[in-house]
Amino acid sequence: MTNLTSTNGKQNFNRVPEVTIDFWLIKLMAVTMGETAADYLAVNLGLGLMATSLIMTAVLAVALILQFMQKRYVPWAYWSAVVLISIVGTLITDNLVDNFKVPLEVTTIVFTAALIATFAIWYGTERTLSIHSIFTTRRETFYWLAILFTFALGTAAGDLVAEKFELGFVTTGVIFGAIIALVAVSYYFLNLDAILSFWLACIFTRPLGASLGDFLSQPVEYGRLGFGTVVTSILFLGCIIAIVIYMSVVYQRDYGLDEAERRT
């Protein structure tokens, strides 16, 4: 567990998890569920994009309030926020494209600029972009804003490649999966900056997850598996819950050991 002792002696804990294989596994599932759940709410339930966006934004606001209240990494609070921000990030891009007729090229550029601006202000204010030092409310605010823009950008870029360039979601998934693999190789063997590697992977897991979600949920006649948005969403939600429970058990064990060590 990462922590920091402030000048007044108060112990502060990092509010986001360590980046492990568990992190990336649940992150991919969260973005996949973000795609299928957004489609289910907007299309299958007939709520429409705007109503779905307003409802899910309100739910996300509650989840983020709970997350900010924790003052440390708590698996259920953190991952609830991730799943919901994945859905909202998807809906933001879909609204701009479908309801406001903003071209995918424009949304991709706009969200790229928004993400760069977030990083610039974050670094200018805090002098670091490290996710291993999210100890304050201000840093956590920058973190979640960046996460939101990575989801929105990933949605825009993925749809641009799959739909505008007419490559299809399967091919798009393969392309972005290969990019993620390249980022991983560059990080582990070519000394690519850790912070840059993390945020690139965050962006590209979104279109990879969307491609996976569409492949599982779309009809068989389109060359997909035809599970539907309900089954796909429930499947990934169940996997997410199982992993979060596992993470909670491991976290409580490690946190308990850490507390015991500080008392001795």
DSSP H/E element including 263: helix 228-263
Mean pLDDT for the stretch of residues 130-138: 93
State residue 1's pLDDT score. 46
Read off the DSSP letter of residue 10: -
DSSP H/E element including 223: none
d(CA 184, CA 144): 23
84 near 57, Cβ under 8 Å?
no
d(CA 220, CA 228): 10
d(CA 163, CA 113): 22
Mean pLDDT for the stretch of residues 176-192: 95
Is the pTM above the cut of 0.75? yes
Weakest mean pLDDT among 7-16, 131-140, 142-151, 246-255:
7-16
Strand partners, 13: 3
- Check whether 7 has a pLDDT greater than 70: no
Collapsed DSSP state (helix, strand, coil) of residue 100: coil
Q: 144: closest CA among 183, 7, 152, 176?
A: 152
User: Which residues are CB-contacts of 174 (< 8 A; sequence separation ≥ 6)?
Assistant: none
Return mean pLDDT, the chain: 87
Handedness of CA 45, 47, 52, 55 (dihedral sign): negative
State residue 5's pLDDT score. 44
Query: pLDDT class for 228, splitting at 50, 70, 90?
Result: confident
How confident is the model over 235-245, as pLDDT tens digits?
888 988 998 89
State residue 3's pLDDT score. 52
Q: 94: closest CA among 25, 48, 145?
A: 48
